[in-house]
Amino acid sequence: MSKITLVVVDDHPLFRQGVVDAFLLEKDFKVLGQAASGNEALTMIKELLPQVAVIDVNLPQLNGQQLTRYLREAKVRTRVVLLTGYDDHAQVIHSMAAGAAAYCVKDIHPQKLVQIVRAVSQGKYVVSETELDLPGLQRWLTEHTILSSRAYSDPGEPFEPLSGREMEVLECVTRGMSNKEIAKSLDISHQTVKNHVTAILRKLNVDDRTQAAVYALRRGWVRLYESQDQPE
């Protein structure tokens, strides 16, 4: 029987070893390695190409969302399960937008985490311990981004249309990128990015980047999953 290969990434050694031990008890898993930082994990995953990476959201250097996005942009087929110490709805949206296959809290029972990784290795997406296929995930995101907007001031329709460059910046913001990362990606200055973000918030009549991201997701301005990103 072929085993599910994985790596575990967390900067707390005791917790990381506990996760590893949970998988070592299962006959259908093979742990290829462990990492304590985002940069270390990025190198390890590119070299070992595990089927699944179990990654803490809060990591030194690259955080879990950034690491997930870099892996996706590099077209690495490893599927990512993100673990978090707190359950925040906006973080779920950003994590799935970054390309995660599952998002779950750290107080999850070890056996449940094992089940989630098995499902992810088979091409499923798991949110709030619910298994979804890709169309199901898209429906879930649509429904929950609409619901999540109630926690914020209700933005009006943009008074002015966004420029092409502003739409590019908004897409990057929605994918969780920092201003520095956006500047590098779009080959523009850090100050120019800040100016675009300020203009976007003003035009969308929202208070912060998270509200802008929710706004874009609700209206389908950002496509989270392209056909080539789907698991084979």
**Closest by CA position to 120, among listed 4, 2, 9:** 4
**Closest by CA position to 225, among listed 57, 63, 64, 72:** 72
Note the pLDDT of residue 225.
Answer: 53
What average pLDDT does this structure show over 78-96? 82
Does pTM surpass 0.85?
A: no
Q: Who wins on pLDDT, 41 or 2?
A: 41
Note the pLDDT of residue 138.
Answer: 80
User: Which amino acid, residue 4?
Assistant: I
d(CA 46, CA 26): 24
Note the pLDDT of residue 100.
Answer: 93
Note the pLDDT of residue 151.
Answer: 38
Other Cβ atoms less than 10 A from the Cβ of 109: the count is 10
Q: Does residue 53 register a pLDDT over 90?
A: yes
What average pLDDT does this structure show over 135-143? 80
The DSSP letter of residue 229 is: G
Tokens for 17, please give them: 């070893």
d(CA 64, CA 61): 10
Q: Which residue has the tokens 């929202």?
A: 206
Contact residues for 217 (Cβ-Cβ < 8 A; gap 6+): 93, 97, 141, 145, 174, 224
Helix or strand run (H / E) with residue 146:
helix 134-148
Helix or strand run (H / E) with residue 16:
helix 13-24
Q: Does residue 73 register a pLDDT over 60?
A: yes
Note the pLDDT of residue 159.
Answer: 41
Q: Which domains occur in the chain, in start order?
A: 4-132 (3.40.50.2300), 153-218 (1.10.10.10)
Starting at the edge strand found earlier in the chain, the sheet holding 52-56 runs 29-35, 4-9, 52-56, 79-84, 102-105, 125-127, 130-132
